[in-house]
Amino acid sequence: MTYVEEVMERVKKFNPGEPEFHQAVQEVLDSIAPAVAAHEEEYRKVKLLERLIEPERSISFQVLWVDDNGEVQINRGYRIQFSSSLGPYKGGLRFHPTVNRSIMNFLGFEQTFKNALTGQAIGGAKGGSNFDPKGKSEREIMAFCQSFMTELFKYIGPNEDVPAGDIGVGAREIGYLYGQYKRITNQFEGVLTGKGLLYGGSLGRTEATGYGLVYITEEMLKSKGMTIAGKTVAVSGSGNVATYTVEKAQQMGAKVVTVSDSNGYIYDPDGIKVDVLKEIKEVRRGRISEYVEAVPTATYHPGKSVWEEVTCDIALPCASQNEIKPEHAVGLVERGCYAVCEGANMPTTREATDYLLEKGVWFLPGKASNAGGVAVSALEMSQNSMRKRRSFEDVDAELKEIMKDIWAQVQSAASDYGQPDNYVMGANIAGFRKVVKAMREQGWV
Cα distance between residue 29 and residue 8, in whole Å: 8
Among 87, 163, 165, 190, binds ligand NDP (CB under 6 A): 165
Q: Which stretch binds ligand NDP (CB under 6 A): 1-9, 149-157, 195-203, 316-324?
A: 316-324
- Interaction between residue 247 and ligand NDP (CB under 6 A): no
Residue 348 interacts with, from ligand 2IT, ligand NDP, none (CB under 5-8 Å by kind) = none
- Interaction between residue 377 and ligand 2IT (CB under 6 A): yes
Please identify, using beta-carbon distances, which residue of 86 and 241 lies nearer to ligand NDP: 241
Closest to 423 in 3D by CA, of 414, 433, 432: 414
Cα distance between residue 127 and residue 264, in whole Å: 27
Cα distance between residue 421 and residue 338, in whole Å: 13
Residue 133 interacts with, from ligand NDP, ligand 2IT, none (CB under 5-8 Å by kind) = none
- Interaction between residue 339 and ligand NDP (CB under 6 A): no
- Interaction between residue 365 and ligand 2IT (CB under 6 A): no
**Least spacing, CB of residue 290 vs ligand 2IT, in Å:** 26
Active site residue 13: no
- In this chain, which residue has its C-beta nearest to ligand 2IT? 92
- Kindly list the strands in the beta sheet with 362-364, ordered across the sheet, starting from the edge strand earlier in the chain: 299-302, 264-267, 255-261, 232-236, 314-317, 339-341, 362-364
Please identify, using beta-carbon distances, which residue of 77 and 373 lies nearer to ligand 2IT: 373
Number of residues that bind ligand NDP (CB under 6 A): 23
Please identify, using beta-carbon distances, which residue of 190 and 237 lies nearer to ligand NDP: 237
- Interaction between residue 90 and ligand 2IT (CB under 6 A): yes
Q: Which stretch binds ligand NDP (CB under 6 A): 20-28, 33-41, 179-187, 318-326?
A: 318-326
- Kindly list the strands in the beta sheet with 72-83, ordered across the sheet, starting from the edge strand earlier in the chain: 57-66, 72-83, 124-129, 89-95, 161-164
Please identify, using beta-carbon distances, which residue of 18 and 166 lies nearer to ligand NDP: 166
- Interaction between residue 20 and ligand NDP (CB under 6 A): no
Please identify, using beta-carbon distances, which residue of 324 and 378 lies nearer to ligand 2IT: 378
Task: Name the catalytic one among 90, 114, 126, 231.
Answer: 126
- Interaction between residue 103 and ligand 2IT (CB under 6 A): no
Residue ranges in 170-209 that form contacts with ligand 2IT under rule CB under 6 A: 193
**Least spacing, CB of residue 164 vs ligand NDP, in Å:** 7
Please identify, using beta-carbon distances, which residue of 352 and 374 lies nearer to ligand 2IT: 374
Cα distance between residue 359 and residue 410, in whole Å: 20
Cα distance between residue 274 and residue 256, in whole Å: 10
Residue 168 interacts with, from ligand 2IT, ligand NDP, none (CB under 5-8 Å by kind) = ligand NDP
Q: Which residues bind ligand NDP (CB under 6 A)?
A: 165-168, 170, 209, 237-242, 261-263, 318-320, 343-345, 370, 373
Active-site residue numbers? 126
Q: Which residues bind ligand 2IT (CB under 6 A)?
A: 90-92, 164, 166, 193, 345, 373-374, 377
